A and B are shown apart, each in its own frame.
Chain A
Amino acid sequence: MKILNPDNLRVPTEPGKTPCLLGNRCRDCGIVVFPKMPVCPSCHTNGAMVEVEIGRTGKLYSHTISHFAPAGFTAPAFQIFVDLPEGPRIFSLVGAGLPVERGVLEDGMEMQLVVEPLADTPEHRDELTYKFVPANGART
């Protein structure tokens, strides 16, 4: 197993530490972006971005069920956008344990980050990435 993109995702090995995303905060204007970028996209300052740990939790902004999949992925599958408390709104997949059905997710619900294989396929089984699951279990 390897982390798909170690620049985006920190998976601590120390006990008690939870995984998180790695973003950038602009020292000048304060905005937080994910994934990282060297120049602030808001105030356009170069060299003011510092790494920050973000995204341990989030709020579901929008969700859908995709009934077809590109090569290397499976369907049906949830595809979602999550609002992170630090600012960014990011695309994510949903943890594999959830039934892929209408009514399981609800926009606005609290989510938490989990680390799982990208997809249960030969192409992506060994690649770990971030996904989100409902923080308090599924709605139904």
Chain B
Amino acid sequence: MRDVAIIGVGAHASGRFLDKPMKALAYPAIWGALDDAGVKATDINVAYVGNSLGGLLTGQEGVRGQVVLQHSGITGIPIINVENACASAMTALRGAWLEVASGAADIALAVGVEKMNVGDSARTIGALSGVSELDLSELGMQFTTSYAIHPKINLKSRMAEYGWTAADFAKPAVKNSYNGSLNPLAQHRRPLTIEEVVQSRVIVDPLTLLMCSSISDGAAAAVVCSADIAKKFSSKTHITIAACVLQSGVYRLPGDERPDSATTSAYAAYEKAGIGPEDLEAVELHDAMAPSELMLYERLGLCGPGEGPRLIDERITTLDGRVPVNPSGGLCSRGHPVGATGLLQICELVWQMRGEAGKRQIEKRPKVTMAQNQGGLLLGQDSAVYGCTILKS
């Protein structure tokens, strides 16, 4: 396998853009990435386009990638449509990485785009329920519920098990809202306080409104190429993909003692990259509900069981900490346009590694970073998709 470099990234702001169809959201992200990389539309050999809900919500059931890319002047090449729930964009990146790593292509494009605001939030929530296996969603089960009480996540039980309080649950939301307030592309840019997060309306007990990521439109893209030709196009910081791991959930019965799938995907990535969790200098992770960040600290090996709140209290994962987590604002503040999120994470890491992150720039430019992305829900008591990418400069 060849080494693969990321030479260009681009993103559309996340938020509510009722008048913009998918292709209009994707266009600035795609051309942001092409211009950033210094490549032309005709330099792209192959493209992967991640999207999750566009079929149900916009009616464009098929060929969304071809539609979106034609609008941006990219035609004729192989275009692969990727649906992997909230990990669609990470899956698209993996496709692009694999094309280049294998030698099948020299330059590949990964795009993630999502159009969630369609003027009817009940319809959007209904569509989102559809990324859980139908046997669950047809009973009215929602994603928020899964974060609250699903056996693999069960944030509610962690309150009892570890003594975590509502204030602990609010800590990642508060930390990330500060980061998001510094990010011009973020959906929510107001710094929050513990009190207002705890006291906001209960959505699914014990999760309150300000602990939940919201409905969001957005897009992101990355251009990857063989590492040995990267300098021909870009003189910016040379960033390589040290690992790009994708796993699917496994069927778990009560008492299943296998490690969590977020853990196995992260450790597979660590092994491929030849590093450990202690080497990470910045992390973007999948905090679809803010308190899940506390749990993911454990699963990625950043702390021991129950120690999540301490990492925020001791300013280890804050923007000025040893390993800043979600410097972009994460899913709750930056936004979670589901099929774009994985590449929005990659954009943020690339900007941080290059020193281009503006007011939220991590002071010591990180050289080893991780993006952790997951999505969907299966009957077998696991998420459907786990993605984990490690970048090095």
Q: What is the interface of chain A, defined by CB distance below 8 A to chain B? A: 4-5, 8, 31, 33, 35, 41-42, 61-73, 77, 79-81, 83, 87-89, 91-93, 102, 107, 118-119, 129
Contact = CB atoms under 8 A, between A and B. Distances in A.
Contacts of A92: 139
B123 interface: yes
Given A62-B149, A64-B205, A89 B156 contact: no
B63 interface: no
A50 to B, nearest CB: 17
Contacts of A93: 139-140
Contacts, number: 96
Given A71-B126, A92-B139, A129-B139, A41 B149 contact: no
Contact of A63 (B136, B140, B149): B149
Contacts of B206: 64
B136 A66 contact: no
Contact of A66 (B126, B142, B381): B142
Given A65-B205, A87-B253, A80 B142 contact: no
A89 B201 contact: no
B125 A70 contact: yes
Nearest to A41: B251
List the 5 closest A-B pairs by CB distance, nearest first.
A41-B251, A62-B149, A73-B140, A64-B148, A71-B122
Contact of B122 (A70, A87, A119): A70
A33 B141 CA distance: 19
A129 B138 CA distance: 10
Given A41-B380, A87-B254, A89-B253, A70 B205 contact: no
A3 B137 CA distance: 17
A70 B125 CA distance: 6
A100 to B, nearest CB: 11
A79 B136 CA distance: 11
Interface string B131-146: 0000110111110110
A26 B251 CA distance: 14
A42 B380 CA distance: 10
Contacts of B129: 70
A105 to B, nearest CB: 11
Contact of B203 (A42, A62, A68, A70): A68
Nearest to B208: A67
B244 to A, nearest CB: 27
Nearest to A69: B140
Contact of A70 (B142, B150, B157, B380): B142
B71 to A, nearest CB: 31
A138 B154 CA distance: 23
B268 interface: no
14 contacts: A5-B135, A5-B138, A41-B250, A65-B202, A67-B205, A68-B142, A70-B126, A70-B142, A79-B140, A88-B254, A89-B151, A92-B139, A93-B140, A107-B157
A35 B154 CA distance: 22
Contact of B135 (A35, A65, A68): A35
A4 B253 CA distance: 25
Contacts of A79: 140-142, 145, 149, 204
A79 B142 CA distance: 9
Contacts of A31: 253
A131 to B, nearest CB: 9
B379 interface: yes
Interface string B144-179: 110011110010110000000000000000000000
A88 to B, nearest CB: 7
A62 B140 contact: no
Contact of A62 (B126, B135, B138, B154): B154
